[in-house]
Amino acid sequence: MAGSFGAGPVPDSADVVVIGGGVVGCAIARALSRYELSVLVIERSPDVATGTSKANSGILHAGFDAEPGTWKARLNVQGARLYAELSEGLGIPRKATGSLVVAKDAAQMETVADLRHRGIDNGVPGLEIWSREQVLAHEPNISPEVAGALWAPTGAIVCPFLATVGFAENAIRNSVRIVTECAVTGLDVADRQIVAVNTTRGRVATRFVVNAAGLHSGEIARLAGDDSFTIKPRRGEYILFDRSVGKLVNTVLFPTPDKVSKGILVSPTVHGNVFIGPDATEIDDPEDKETTAGGLAGIIAGARRIMPTLPLGTAITEFAGLRAAAGKDFVIGPSPVARGLVHAAGIQSPGLTSAPAIGEVMVEVLQDVGLRLRQKASFVPVNPAKPRFHEMDRATQAELIAADPLFGRVICRCETITEAEIVAAILSPCGARTVDGVKRRVRAGAGRCQGGFCGPRVTAILARELGIPVTSVRKDSADSWLFMSRADLEAGEGVHA
């Protein structure tokens, strides 16, 4: 029996409630969907992947920089391996680019050597120290001042949006329910045991809750009287360049790291763009995603230390993402206060890489605290393949158009995205409900014009397929209305769903 996705009432009960619909929460839900359980995911936004998972570098780290013995070290390496196994079947775009940690002098080369030894301790395969000549041969546009680098062949890049959607869709195919626009208002605890989750859409009786609420995971813990950790938001700003400069860099380029950050990266994306960033700024507001002149200037200066000639005229957008820092390591394990409450919190970098491994570990943690597991004979491990029109040859495109004329209507010119792909993104098990939801799934609006041409057409398609008026279509968040009705405009009122 398939699950469900979207806004609506929560069920009266569930075996496990997962709070948070980011990449970690969805990966946990998929891992749990292997078993005969009723699993509910609660997400406060209209879609999955709207928090940290949305503004993410998309890098699958090899695992050489985490302190040996930590959750980060273990889960990073395991997660990188799992992505290599799972991505194709789940429809997650992944490219094995490898990565380089670039050193500029002898002192940094010593740090690079230390990273190699650490990576070996963590079980990272294939690590090599490259000479200046090897680095320049692989990356001809890099700074000529390079002294050498650490080469990690298992480094890769992935689409973080489609990673989240891939895990979520597969979970739904295996009976998981994801209820969106649903905020947690309380956790009921009796005799130190979780007994229910209270939400804005009803009360769910349960004995097991997974706290994967990202930036808000500390708040969720405190609802059960658990103040064992605190989340500190850390903002990172990025600049994204047009696909016309995709050949600028071949692999993920890291500077030699410091104690706070991996530094300003220069990296390709799986879609052929290039980005620089992020920086790392400690902030107080978990909703503060502003970009700043100082932050962007710092990113440019940092990136130029690796890549002196940056095509700044081809930048198409700047954005900021937030990471949920809780100390030096992830917070993984049972609450010390409330039985049945388990945490997957403080999941900053390498959280994206670690997500599928966190899913596997959380199944073990839940079993340790009393969840009974029975394998599901009907588990479906893959998602149906989705056509990517712009990647096909002309003959295959013609066959698609003959079968479905909507493939012949290009809605997004920048990315060559057809109406058929947009409709499929809306009607899929984890279907888009907003304009940005369509963008995250099929990239309509992700090109150079940033939706200037296709945005109104995507809005009209959403309204048609969802059976709602255009004035009810939102950009991304719960209140991000794009249009007002004439009656509301004349009355001077906002639009309400």
Residue 258 pLDDT grade (very low, low, confident, very high; cuts 50, 70, 90): confident
Judge whether residue 494 has pLDDT over 70.
Answer: no
- Count the residues in the chain: 497
Kindly report, residue by residue over 199-257, the tens digit of the pLDDT. 999 999 999 999 999 999 999 999 999 999 999 999 999 999 999 998 999 999 999 98
442-452 per-position pLDDT tens digit? 999 999 999 99
Residue 45 · residue 181 · CB < 8 Å: yes
pTM (2 d.p.):
0.96
- d(Cα 18, Cα 32) in Å, to the nearest integer? 10
pLDDT band of residue 496 (cuts 50, 70, 90) is: very low
Q: Summarize pLDDT for 392-426 with one digit per residue, the tens.
A: 999 999 999 999 999 999 999 999 999 999 999 99
The reply to whether 95-155+232-322 shares the fold of 1-94+156-231+326-385 is no
Give dist(CA 73, CA 71) in Å, integer: 5
CA distance 208 to 14: 9
- Inter-CA distances, 81 with 60, 63, 97, 118, Å: 10, 11, 14, 18
| Residue 261 pLDDT exceeds 80 | no
Are 446 and 452 in contact by the 8 Å Cβ rule? The answer is no
* 390 has catalytic annotation: no
Residue 448 backbone dihedrals phi, psi, to 5 degrees = -60, -35
At residue 55 the predicted structure's pLDDT band, cuts being 50, 70 and 90, is: confident
Cα 321 from Cα 234, distance rounded (Å): 8
- In this prediction, residue 262 has a pLDDT band, given cuts at 50, 70 and 90, of confident
Q: Evaluate whether 274 touches 246 at the Cβ level (below 8 Å).
A: yes
- Per the omega criterion (within 30 degrees of 0), is the bond before 350 cis? yes
Structure tokens at 123: 């079980």
User: CB–CB of 324/345 below 8 Å?
Assistant: yes
Pair 27, 351: CB distance under 8 Å: no
Tell me the domain boundaries of the chain: 1-94+156-231+326-385, 95-155+232-322, 391-491
Q: Judge whether 404 and 139 are in contact, CB under 8 Å.
A: no
CATH architecture of the domain covering 1-94+156-231+326-385: 3-Layer(bba) Sandwich (3.50)
Q: Which residue among 61, 117, 216, 343 is the active-site one?
A: 61
The arithmetic mean of pLDDT across residues 384-398, rounded, is: 95
Q: Of 153, 80, 86, nearest to 350 (Cα)?
A: 80
- The percent of residues above 90 in pLDDT, for the chain, comes to 93
Cα–Cα–Cα angle for 280, 284, 288, rounded to 5 degrees = 70
Average pLDDT, the chain: 95
Lowest mean pLDDT among 49-63, 90-104, 483-497: 483-497
Residue 497 clears pLDDT 80, i.e. is over it = no
Choose the CATH number for 95-155+232-322 among 3.40.50.40, 3.30.9.10, 1.20.1600.10, 3.90.76.10: 3.30.9.10
* pLDDT beyond 60 at 80: yes
Q: What is the pLDDT of residue 489?
A: 65
> Which run of H or E residues covers position 71?
helix 71-90
Q: Using one digit for the tens of pLDDT, what is the confidence trace for 125-179? A: 999 999 999 999 999 999 999 999 999 999 999 999 999 999 999 999 999 999 9
445 and 456 Cβ atoms separated by less than 8 Å = no
pLDDT average, residue stretch 483-488: 73
For every residue of 268-331, DSSP letters joined together read E-TTS-EEEE---EE-S-TT-----HHHHHHHHHHHHTT-S---GGGEEEEEEEEEEE-SSS-E
Work out whether strand 274-277 and strand 232-241 pair parallel, antiparallel, or are unpaired. antiparallel
Token digits of residue 328: 């030096």
